[in-house]
Structures are given as structure tokens and as C-alpha cells.
Amino acid sequence: MINVGDNLKIQFKQRGILIQLIIINISVFLIVTIIGLITKLCKLESLHLINYLGVPSDLSFLLSRPWTPLTYMFVHAEPFHILFNMLFLYWFGQFFLIYFTPRNLGSLYILGGLSGAAVYILAFNLIPYYIDMGNLPLIGASASATAIMFAAACYNPNAEVNLFFTFRVKIIYIALFIFAVDFISLASENNPGGHIAHIGGALLGYIFAREYSKGKDITRWMSNLIDWLTNLLKSKPSAMKVKYKRNETDYEYNRRKHNDMEEIDHILDKIKASGYNSLTSDEKKRLFDAGKK
């Protein structure tokens, strides 16, 4: 009989990478919140997890906690903080997956977060205004989500969305507006580190889209690293010899998917013009196979 833990694992594996990232963020939020409540009731604030999971601006703290540039992008302190970030990630993640693969999304999420952390650390150690603020831990998935937003917006700047269900606007205008808000807020006292990190994520998203349009995937090395770590955790000794087939690159996958969509569109146009009976047996089989996917 499958227990609750096994059932959760099955549900998690069946979800796409976008939903998995949201589930991870929500799970970490609940764990941090519960432990934070316990430490506060026991007057053990010095053990507050945010201090060990958030990116510190102080280099001495950063050297003693080198894992924080990775962990911070899954940590949130307030309900509205995680609610806004997850809605932001889900909405723009859907647009991202129109043009790119789930592997791209997962890798860019991490790289966008790392870029945001890097810009934050540099700013708080080089710019006098931020140096005077002292050591402020950075948390949140917003830099990662901003990277995904800018990648989708810059790759196809002509894509439009219904804003507030009333009028259509290009997604690039939304991205640029958010970037402008972050830029003019750099000197504010309200979450300056977050605005800096957003800009770092936006820059990486732009670079990803620009390079991808040239046929170069800058997230490939991260995807390969994640695959290697995943296979390392799942690997078991076996006497069986397995013949491996080279996987498609993300660029090859997107090209094949685009070609398939064009072929299906051609078949549908033919049906509209001449009817279903005008199709060849191969075209009927191709349409049938596409309907099963």
C-alpha cells in the first residue's frame, strides 16, 4: 500500500518543472515559518534560519556560509512575499515554456538567482550608500523570476497579453516597466537589495535570450550539471550493460518542435480547404499521432 510520503513523491514527479519549483518554494516557506515560530517562542532568535539561508552582504559571513547564493532563491519570510513571487514565476514561466524547454527554465531559475546574488553582493561592498546599510540578508525568488520574464520578453518582444482582461499589451513593455520601477527604487530604503537583485536577474535573462537567438544556450552547462547530480543520486551498481543514446540539445528540441507544429498547421489548413478525405494516409497518421500527445 502506498503511504502519504510515496504519494507526494509520485505527484511531485508528475508535475512540470514550473510547478515543482513552486512546490519547493512553498515547502521551504512552511518549514522556515514553523521553525521560526518555535525559535521565537523559545527565545532562540540567534538560530533564525533566514540568517543561514539568506545571502549576506558581508563577505566574511558569505565565506562562512557559501551555500547561501543557492539557498536564498527558495526562501521567503512573509506570506505576501511568496504569494507575489510565485504568481509572478508561474505567469511568466508559462510564456517562457512556449519558446524554451523545461530544462532551460530550471537552469535559468538557478542562474538568474545566482546573477541576482552576485550583483547584490557587489553593490553592497562597492557602493557607499549600500555599504552604510550594513549586513542585510537577501532572500526570495524574484531575481530568478525576473530572469525568466526577461528571457521570454526579449526572445519574442512582439508577444502580446490581455492586461486586466481589457486591452492587449506587449510583454516586453511589462518587463521594461518592472525594470524601470526597480531602477528608480535603487536609492529607496524599502528593500534596496531586492531591487538590485532584480536587475541582476533581468540582465541574465536578456543575455540568455540574445544568445539563444544566435543558437547558443548559455544554460546548457547548468542543465548538464543538474542531470549529472540527479543521475549520481539515482545511480545504483549494476552488472547490466546499457547502451546510451545521445539526447537532443535544447536547441535541437525546439527546432524539431517548431517543425512539427508547422507540419500540423499545414495538415489542418488542407482539411479546411479540401476536407479530411483529401489527406494522404501518411498525413492522417501524422494527425492521429499528434492528437495522442
Range of lowest pLDDT (78-87, 116-125, 127-136): 127-136
pLDDT (0 to 100) of residue 231: 85
Q: Contact, 145 vs 89, CB < 8 A?
A: yes
Give the residue-averaged pLDDT of 283-293. Answer: 67
Q: Which of these, 11, 200, 192, 7, lies nearest to 114 by C-alpha position?
A: 200
Sign of torsion, CA 179 185 190 196? positive
b/e per residue 103-137 (b: at least 16 CB within 10 A): bbbbbbbbbbbbbbbbbbbebbeeeeebeeeeebb
pLDDT (0 to 100) of residue 248: 59
Backbone angles phi, psi at 157, to 5 degrees: -65, -15
Query: Could you report the per-residue pLDDT of 5-42, keeping only the tens digit for each?
Result: 555 455 455 458 999 999 999 999 999 999 988 888 88
Residue 122 has pLDDT above 50, yes or no: yes
pLDDT (0 to 100) of residue 86: 96
CATH of the structural domain 17-233, one choice from 1.20.1260.60, 1.20.1540.10, 3.20.20.80, 3.90.420.10: 1.20.1540.10
How much of the chain, in percent, has pLDDT values that exceed 70? 83
Q: Contact, 250 vs 220, CB < 8 A?
A: yes
DSSP letter at 278? G
Residue 172 has pLDDT above 90, yes or no: yes
Query: Could you report the per-residue pLDDT of 202-225, keeping only the tens digit for each?
Result: 999 999 999 999 999 999 999 999
pLDDT (0 to 100) of residue 271: 76
Q: Which of these, 277, 281, 29, lies nearest to 139 by C-alpha position?
A: 29
Give the residue-averaged pLDDT of 267-277. Answer: 74
- Written as one string, the DSSP assignment of 2-33 is --HHHHHHHHHHHS-HHHHHHHHHHHHHHHHH
Confidence of residue 283 (pLDDT cuts 50, 70, 90): confident
Query: Could you report the per-residue pLDDT of 47-65, keeping only the tens digit for each?
Result: 678 889 999 999 999 999 9
Residue 99 has pLDDT above 70, yes or no: yes
How much of the chain, in percent, has pLDDT values that exceed 90? 55
DSSP letter at 168? E
> Which residue matches cell numbers 528593500?
191
Confidence of residue 280 (pLDDT cuts 50, 70, 90): confident
Q: Which of these, 96, 71, 76, lies nearest to 86 by C-alpha position?
A: 76
CA distance linking residue 214 with residue 144, whole number of Å: 23
Hey, what's the cell of 150?
Answer: 526577461
Bridge-based pairing of strands 160-163 and 167-170 is antiparallel
Burial of 73 (0-12, 13-18, 19+ CB in 10 A): buried
Q: Which residue has the higher pLDDT, 217 or 241?
A: 217
Mean pLDDT of the chain: 84
Range of lowest pLDDT (80-89, 159-168, 225-234): 159-168
Domain regions of the chain by residue span: 17-233, 250-292
Residue 71 has pLDDT above 90, yes or no: yes
3-state secondary structure of 216: coil
